[in-house]
Amino acid sequence: MTLTIDAALLDRHGLTAEEYERIVTAMGRTPNLTELGIYSVMWSEHCSYKSSKIHLKTLPTTGPRVVQGPGENAGAVDIGDGLAAVFKIESHNHPSFIEPYQGAATGVGGIIRDIFTMGARPIALLNSLRFGEPDTPLTRRIVSGVVSGIAGYGNSIGIPTIGGEVMFDDCYAGNPLVNVLCLGVAHVSEIVKGRADGVGNPVYYVGAKTGRDGIHGATMASAEFDESSSEKRPAVQVGDPFMEKLLLEACLEVMKNDALVGIQDMGAAGLTCSTSEMGARAGTGVEIDTALVPQRETGMTPYEIMLSESQERMLLVVTLGREHEIEAIFEKWDLHAVRIGTVIEEPILRVRHHGELVAEIPNGSLVDEAPLYDRPTQLPAYLGEAQSLDIASLGVPPAPVAALDALLASPNIASKRWIYRQYDHMVRTNTLTLPDAGTPCVRVKGTPRAVAMSVDGNGRYCYLDPREGARAAVAEAARNVACAGARPIGATNNLNFANPQRPEIMWQFVESVRGIGDACRALGIPITGGNVSLYNETEGRGIYPTPVLGVVGLIDDASRTVGGVIREAGLDVILLGTPAGDLGGSEYLRVMHGLVRGRPPRVDLDRERALCALLADAAHDGVVHAAQDASDGGLAIAMAECTFATGIGVDIDLPAPNQAHDAFLTLRALFGETAGVALVVAAHNGTGAVLARANDLGVPARVIGRTGGERLRLRVNGQVAIDEPVARCAATWRGALEARLGVA
Amino acid sequence: MKFAVVVFPGSNCDHDAYHAAKHVLGQEAEFVWHKDTDLRGADVVILPGGFSYGDYLRTGAIARYSPVMQAVAAFSATGGPVLGICNGFQVLLEAGLLEGAMLRNARLKFNCEHVHLRVEQTTTPFTARCAPGSVLRIPVAHGEGNYFADPVTLQRLEANGQVIFRYCTAAGEIADAANPNGSLHNIAGICNATRNVVGLMPHPERACETALGSADGLVMFESAIDYVTAGARA
């Protein structure tokens, strides 16, 4: 067959003419169609990180606890007792727009495979979701589908979805974000790598059969959407959580057997990616025959088999002569491991079909020699105007209670109960902090420890100042795990942006990565892996730049885990940090004035580090009853949220911010958003200890009131600004999301 | 004494039941693979929660054919205490060891949250230590827990005192608002005619440690231990 490689064919494969020339040079000849397809998925943005890699390399990735940094299926950090927390975040944004249920479900399945592929038992899932405003039929369909998909997969496989964040903004209407973090626990000494070592060793395929679903999924995730995107539905894969449950249990059993050499899941770019990456890591090659691959459909071509992204498939390399040991374990689980190839000496990917050679490509050119772009950047034109905020132009300030009610009813702040109760958040009996009760935490059975996790990102902040917004995302996630009493020990990031070929978007990206680097270095939190999702735009309209940070923290004594719920009256409320009362980029400004403007709050990373240390130390001392950081909606919302679970009220006096003497002073104190601030409810007789610790660490701290009663009484500089029954506020907060989604 | 926890393909609360029996209560516990036909001398058998065979057909409809179920049936026929939790309850219904069937939750959504249960009967191996009418706070986590039985069966179950748990308010009132899934008569759990096989949708194994939010489920395991150690199984 002669193949004419023309512009249209390259375009369908998402390759440029220059990239094609590189392929010809790397191969020393013209590729055939199968080879072109293989290059197209491996060199896609999704697999190669070609637009982002040079920037990602600037991130801090090392530290005393890092067991595995970026480059493997997931990162790992030491949590003591010979154990490691293995975790990563991954996006499934594009598929979730096209087919919300399956898109989200397979996103969950994919990240779970990345974790157990490392030899870790997955014990927790979190997610970070972004949708359009919840009133539209399109968004309601997407929300409902995505939540059901996450639930359908996670609940069935039996890994608890213990928390996350959900934000609604019109910019995500045509580009929802579905970022899923999975964390597992492995013995450090038993972490498994995706390497094809040992020339002559057999290569096995196990799991679901290969179908035509998901062909070019990776290239789809590397392109913008337009009106015809719904036609891409066949590129979305279908998930089978039962199959994955069998694979999970069987693989964890197989990994205890040293006949296993290496293992990798088939995620994006399927068989192509797993064969070439396993070979590249080991400096070997892999030869397979696609005719041996179990197939769901008849008449599949090698091109289709190599590019399929059918879910729930694994590739294994097994020690020659001990195949039966591995086969027997899979048989027990009614899975059939099939030998499809061999590890070879030449560092190439060689594909045969019924013995006939159909592709032969150097691994290095696929895995390590994809083009890298230093794409041009340009300061966005919108920025100057968007960053200016004239408070005087806001008119007459609303009554504080009106703003409180509106913010509690904002879907960004309202309880996500309708969502999280669809998720099994308790299976495996490790969940120490339930949803809406504080930062998600799971204990690590067999040890005295627990792990706290938080995923955070604020697209509004990043739109207004990507570097500051990214710093804020790291700081908020770190602060959240510190509120639980944990010391942050590692992070993973999911960088969601629009089209990087537009210089203004690339500028947002570069600035965000800088911000993450600043904050992670200052806070001593290494990035151990992550994911980049670009081209999040539909019909030319991009999302806010939305870097999402997942921070993992360690609690040495699980019994000292702190939540965010007031369970006792008569306790002191302590304000840590100095609120600046910024309204720039705030939820208040968006909800009450319909504006996304101004400069987001500045993060003082030294103060943030001291605050995190204080929160973890005080929790370890057992002097913290509850802790809550102030984020969307400021201190008023943070305080209110602590009262809802039990109905026990507070009476506190917030300081007015220093620099702002305008008509919005009270509103700034209540709803202004400040980094480096948290509220702590001291345990009985614990106030002195918290204040002393704060003094030692140089964190401003003062007692601002007490718990008790059934009212939310918030004063500003001594004047009562809000005095409402907790029950009424709680009812607003609890029912608002359902009402906005029309599911009440 | 020894608990056996049956593992079907897709069981996912097997480790939780095992943990409760072994590590919280300090009893012997052993997993029994669904292809096994021997319960290994177990004194109590637990069919755990999860999604056996993915629940792609009706819940529990395939697991009932697993070889181990013959052993479970034989064990129950001789009075052995069997507890089916969530998917385990669904398997017992499909196996005919308990009567009735499950529909999808009335709200058509999976639902995970703590609920309140009123103990209606204390004459089973799993409720003997409960105070009659006491209220337990225990989580549910299911999409198909809407208990259904035809009127004749339902009346017989009620008349024989085979309804063991009902969803209730914190104060113990049986109310629609306290029913998380639409179950008839607020039924959360039932037993067989000989009272040794109990099935319930809520998860007592998730409520055995205060650190997890409730320890109200412990009493069911403790009841079973009493039952066995007292030789009540005559």
Give the domain CATH number at B29: 3.40.50.880
CB within 8 Å: B20 and A334: no
State yes or no: is A625 an active-site residue: no
H or E stretch including A689? helix A687-697
Q: How many helices (H) and strands (E) does chain A have?
A: 26, 28
H or E stretch including A530? strand A527-533
CB within 8 Å: B110 and A424: yes
Residue B16 counted as domain residue: yes
Look up the ipTM and state it. 0.97
- Between CA A437 and CA A444 the distance in angstroms is 19
Which residues on chain B are in Cβ contact (under 8 Å) with A558?
211
Low-confidence residues in chain A, pLDDT < 50: 1, 230, 233
Q: Which two tokens stand for residue B192?
A: 């067989």
In 3-state terms, chain B is what percent helix, strand and coil (to 5)? 30, 25, 45
Interior/surface letters A341-366, b for 16+ CB within 10 angstroms, e for the rest: bbbbeebbbbbbbeeeebbbbbbebb
CA dihedral A16, A20, A25, A26 (to 10 degrees): 100
- Between CA A381 and CA B173 the distance in angstroms is 63
Going from the C-alpha of A14 to that of each of A36, A270, A495, the distances in angstroms are 11, 17, 21
Q: Among partner residues B9, B109, B139, which is closest to A246 by beta-carbon distance? A: B9
- Between CA A49 and CA A68 the distance in angstroms is 19
- Between CA A424 and CA B141 the distance in angstroms is 6
Q: How far is B86 from chain A (nearest CA, A)?
A: 12
pTM of the prediction? 0.96
Residue B196 counted as domain residue: yes
Residue B217 counted as domain residue: yes
CB within 8 Å: B112 and A443: no
Q: Among partner residues B10, B139, B212, which is closest to A245 by beta-carbon distance? A: B10
pLDDT tens digits, one per residue of A227-283: 555 455 456 788 999 999 999 999 999 999 999 999 999 988 899 999 999 999 999
H or E stretch including A155? helix A137-157
Residue A46 pLDDT: 87
Residue A217 pLDDT: 61
Q: Give yes or no for B51 touching A (CB within 8 A).
A: yes
Residue B83 counted as domain residue: yes
Number of neighbouring beta carbons within 10 Å of residue A559: 11
CB within 8 Å: B19 and A158: no
Q: Among partner residues A333, A429, A434, which is closest to B9 by beta-carbon distance? A: A333
Q: Which of residues 133-172 of A touch B (CB under 8 A)?
A: 148, 151-152, 155-158
Q: How far is A156 from chain B (nearest CA, A)?
A: 6
Residue A659 pLDDT: 64
Average pLDDT over residues B204-208: 98
As beta bridge partners, residue A225 has A538
Residue B17 counted as domain residue: yes
Residue A386 pLDDT: 97
Q: How many domains, in total, are found in chain B?
A: 1
Residue A661 pLDDT: 64
CB within 8 Å: A242 and B10: yes
**Contact between residue A87 and residue A481 where contact means Cβ atoms under 8 Å apart:** no
Residue A233 pLDDT: 46
Local structure of residue B209 (DSSP, 8 states):
B
Q: Which domain, by its residues, includes B18?
A: 2-229
Number of neighbouring beta carbons within 10 Å of residue B96: 10
Average pLDDT over residues B219-228: 97
CB within 8 Å: A245 and B9: yes
Strand A75-80 relative to strand A83-91: parallel, antiparallel, unpaired? antiparallel
From the candidates B86, B168, B191, B208, give the one annotated as an active-site residue. B86
CB within 8 Å: A158 and B9: no
Residue B84 counted as domain residue: yes
- Between CA A390 and CA A584 the distance in angstroms is 10
pLDDT tens digits, one per residue of B143-201: 999 999 999 999 999 999 999 999 999 999 999 999 999 999 999 999 999 999 999 99
Number of neighbouring beta carbons within 10 Å of residue A645: 18
Residue B234 counted as domain residue: no
Q: How far is B50 from chain A (nearest CA, A)?
A: 7
Residue B54 counted as domain residue: yes
Local structure of residue B25 (DSSP, 8 states):
S
State yes or no: is A13 an active-site residue: no
pLDDT tens digits, one per residue of A668-702: 999 999 999 999 999 999 999 999 999 999 999 99
Q: How far is CA A689 from the centre of its chain?
A: 36
